[in-house]
Structure 1
C-alpha cells in the first residue's frame, strides 16, 4: 500500500503511519477483511506499546514504554499533511475487489465485525484513531493535553474540512502513554468519497446497509472549530465522577501511571453530556441515508447504549444461525479487545461474545449474558492484558468465573494469563487458540439481513438496543 501511494505521487504521511497501530478499530478492520478473504489472523503480530517490556522492573519499564510510544506516534508537525480521504481509500482497499450483498458501517465494535462476517459483507469504520506526539506532556496535565491537541486538531481540520476530531485524555486506559501522546479520534462528518465509490461499485444495487452507532454519553468540552475534548471515557471502566481530583480511584490510576493527583485539574469537568468518542457524527448518518436512498439501498440503524448489548445480541444471533444450519451452537468463545479472529470462529462453529476491554464492567457484562443464556458445553476465554494494573481492571479470578459457565470445558488462555494484566499478546494469539478447536465445517450459508435484524430486535431490545 505504501509503495502504491508513493508511485501515485501522494505526499505526506501514509495511512499506515496516520492510523494508530494500537487502535482496536485497526485490528477489527484487519480481522474483518481477512475473514472475507477466507483467512485468519495468524499474521497479526503487533504488540501494543503499553504491554511491552513487561518483564522489566517498573523503574525501567515505564521510561521504555514512554520512548516506544513517542517513536510510534505521528509527529505533531505532520498533522496538516494528513489526508482523511486517503485513509478512507486505505480502509476500503483492505477488501477483495468483488460485489458484496450489503455493508456494515459505523462504530468500532467486535460484534459488528462478527455480524458483518456472518452476513458475508465488509465492515467500514466511521472514523479512525491517531496518536500524536506530545514531547512536553505529563499524565496529570489534562489542560496541557487540551492545548496541544487543539493545535494539532486545528491543522487537521484545516486540511480536512469534512472531519471532526474528538480528543480523549484517559490515564485509566492509556497509563503512562497519556503523558507522551495525545489520542485523537477522527470522525468523518460526511461519507468519504472512497466509501461512496465503494457503495456504488462494490455493493450490489439495492443491497441493505446497516449503520451501527455507539450511543454512550460522556461530558464533552466542545469549543467548536471541529475539535472537542473529553477526560476519560466509558471504555475506561470509570464513571465521569471518578475523574474528580478527590476520587480515590483516580488517585490509584494516576499513581500507577507515574502521575500526581495534586496537579490534576482537568478542564471541562462541568461540560454538558454528549455522545462519547466511539459515536458516529450525525452528519455522517444523514449523508449515508441520502447516498443509500440514491442507490436504492435500505439503511437500517442500530443504536446500542452499551457495548455489552450488541455483544449479547450478536452472540444470540450466532447461536440461532448455527443451529438453523444443523450445528449445536453449544460452544462459546469470549474474546476481548484485539484478541479476535472471526474466520476461525466461523470455521469452528463457535458462538462469539466480545468484551470491549478487560475492565471489571466489561467482563461483568459477559458474566451476566452467560448466566442468562442456555448452558454451553464449552467456554473459552481470551483475556486481553491491558498492560497496566488498575482497580478497574478485571482480575484473573473474574475471567475464570466467566469460563466456569462451560459445562464440560472451561478454559482461560494460559499465555494471556501469564503475567496478566501487564503482559501483552498479539492478535495472532486468538488465532492460535481457536485453531485448536475442532472444525465444524461446512460453514453455514450467509446470514440473511432480515434474520439479523430480527435477532437484533429480539436479543437487543431487553438491553436497550434500538433498531430502526
Structure 2
C-alpha cells in the first residue's frame, strides 16, 4: 500500500532486494519435490527471530516504522484495522493509507513438531509474558496450523499481535496526515476461531482460515488422518489444549477494543469515523471487484479483465495500470474456489482471467487442485491463464513469487492512473448496490 501511494508497483515478496533471488528460484523450481519442500522450509523459517529479540520488541517503535512507510501528505481518510487483500485494493481506489491492527512476529522455533499442538501451546510462555509486559496495548495470538503451515512450523512459530490502542505512533501519523474533519475508516473482520487462554492477553489458536473448518482441527476427519499418514506424523489427529472461548481469528479477525480507542481519539481531534464490517476475509472481495468494474466503466474502460489475487500475491498499482478488476482470494483452497465460482455465476462474463496461486509448499487438506483451477479458467470468454505459477509444480512452485510480477507486466493494456475515488463515491456505490452484499456493512458517524 505504501509503494502504491509512492507511485510504484509491488516487488516480489514485497521487497525490491528479493528480485536478486529470481534466478535461484527458477533453478529451485526444477528440483525434486522433497528438495523444494526443504528449501521452502528453510527460506520461510529464516524469518524467525530469536526469542530474546521478540521479548524486547517495542510495539510503538514497530508502529512508527509502519507509519513511516507512507508519504507524509494530506489524505481524506485513513484506514485502520483488519488485514485484507481486497481492502488493499479499496485503499488504492481511495488513495489512502492503511494502518494494520495485526502484525506477525515470527519466532525462531526448533524441537516443536508441527503435529504436537499441546507442546507448541506452551513452548514460548516465558517469551510471551516478557513481550506482553513490555507492551500493555497488545493481545498475543499464538497461531499453530499444522495443515497449511507445516513446512514453516519446522523452523518458525507464528506470534500474531493485535493492538487494542492506537498508540502514540499511529495517533501522531493520523493527526499529521488526515485532513481536518477527515474520516478514520475502521476495517472490522468478524472472523472468529476457537482459542485457549494461556495467560493474560495470551491466546493459543490451533489451525487457521483456509481449506478446513476449525472443528476438523480439533476433532479430526478421514482427510486429516490420511494427510497425517502421508506425512508419517505418527498420529491420526491433532491433540490440542481444550478451547475455552471464541476469539477474533489470529490473522484476519478484528479486536473491537481498538474501535473504542479510535472513537475517543477521533472525538478529541474532530475527526469522523466510519465502520466497514464484514464477517469473513473474502466477503469484501466481490464488493471491491464490483466497485472497480463500476469505476472502470465510468472511465470508459473495457472492465473485461479479472485479476485473481492469492494471499500476498497482489499488486494494486498494476491492477489499476492495466485496467483490471481485482478479486482477492485468501488462499488457493476449496472454499475460495467455490466463492469465486459463485461470484462469476452472478456477474457478466470476463474476457480474460489471470489466476495467481499462492504456493505454501504442501498439498494440505482442503487445497483445490490444479485441475479444478484450470476448469475455472475455462470460464474466460477469450483466455484464462495461470499468472506466474506452474500448474504441474503447484502447490510447491518457488518461482510463483517472482513469476507473478512478470505475468502482470506482460498484460498489454496500459491506462492513465485515475484520480482517487472519494469516500462519498464509495457510499454512493454501496447505496446503489444495496442488498447485494449482505455480509458487509458500512456505517458512518
Q: Same fold (TM over 0.5)?
A: yes
Q: How does 1:224-303 map to 2 (within 5 A)?
A: 224-233=199-208, 235-244=209-218, 246-255=220-229, 259-261=233-235, 264-268=238-242, 270-277=243-250, 278-303=252-277
For residue 160 of structure 1, report the CA deviation from its aligned partner. 0.9
1:42-441 aligned at under 5 Å gives the runs 42=11, 44=15, 45=18, 55-57=30-32, 60=35, 65-233=40-208, 235-244=209-218, 246-255=220-229, 259-261=233-235, 264-268=238-242, 270-277=243-250, 278-413=252-387, 415-425=389-399, 427-441=401-415
Checking the alignment, whether the CA contact within 8 Å between 1:51 and 1:385 is kept in structure 2 is: no
Superimposed CA distance per residue, residues 75-104 of structure 1 (whole angstroms, 9 cap, x where no aligned partner): 112222111111111111111122222112
Displacement over 6 Å in runs of 4+: none
Closer/same/farther in 2, CA of residues 283 and 246 from structure 1, 3 Å limit: closer
SS of 1:158's equivalent in the other structure is: helix
Per-residue deviation at 1:271? 2.8
Q: Is the 8 A contact 1:132 1:182 kept in 2?
A: yes
Distance verdict in 2 for CA 1:466–1:149, change over 3 Å? farther
Cα 1:246–1:280 change in 2 (3 A) is: closer
Q: Tell me the alpha carbon deviations over residues 110-163 of structure 1, each in whole angstroms, 9 at most, x when there is no partner.
A: 111100011011111112001112222111211111111332211110111111
RMSD between aligned residues:
2.5
Question: Residue 149 of structure 1 contacts residue 167 of structure 1 at CA under 8 Å; is this kept in 2?
Answer: no
Give the structure 2 partner of residue 38 of structure 1. 7
Partner Cα separation in structure 1 for residue 165 and residue 70 of structure 2: 21
> Matched residue of 1:393: which SS?
coil
- The 1:459/1:38 distance shift into structure 2, 3 A limit, reads farther
**Alignment partners' CA distance in 1, 2:44 and 2:413:** 39
More helix by share: 1
Cα displacement string for residues 265-323 of structure 1 (whole angstroms, at most 9, x for unaligned residues): 2112x433222112222221111122122222221111211222101111111111111
Change (3 A) 1:252 1:291: farther
Judge conservation of contact 1:341–1:430 (CA < 8 Å) in 2: no
Distance 2:36 2:305 in 1: 39
Secondary structure at the residue paired with 2:381? strand
Say if 2:58 and 2:134, in contact at 8 Å, map to a contact too: yes
Equivalent in the alignment of 1:14: none
Q: Provide the C-alpha distance between the structure 2 equivalents of 1:283 and 1:415, rounded to a whole number of angstroms.
A: 40
Are the counterparts in 2 of residues 80 and 158 from structure 1 also a CA contact under 8 Å?
no
Q: Give the TM-score of the pair, scaled to structure 2.
A: 0.90
Q: Distance in 2 between matches of 1:171 and 1:422?
A: 16
Q: How far did 1:440 drift?
A: 4.0
Q: CA deviation at 1:264?
A: 3.4
Equivalent residues of 2:309, 2:355 under 8 A apart: yes
Partner of 1:108: helix, strand, or coil?
coil
Q: Please list every run of 5 or more consecutive structure 1 residues that lacks an aligned counterpart in the other structure.
A: 1-31
The count of corresponding residues between Structure 1 and Structure 2 is 434
Contact 1:139 1:258 in 2 (8 A): no
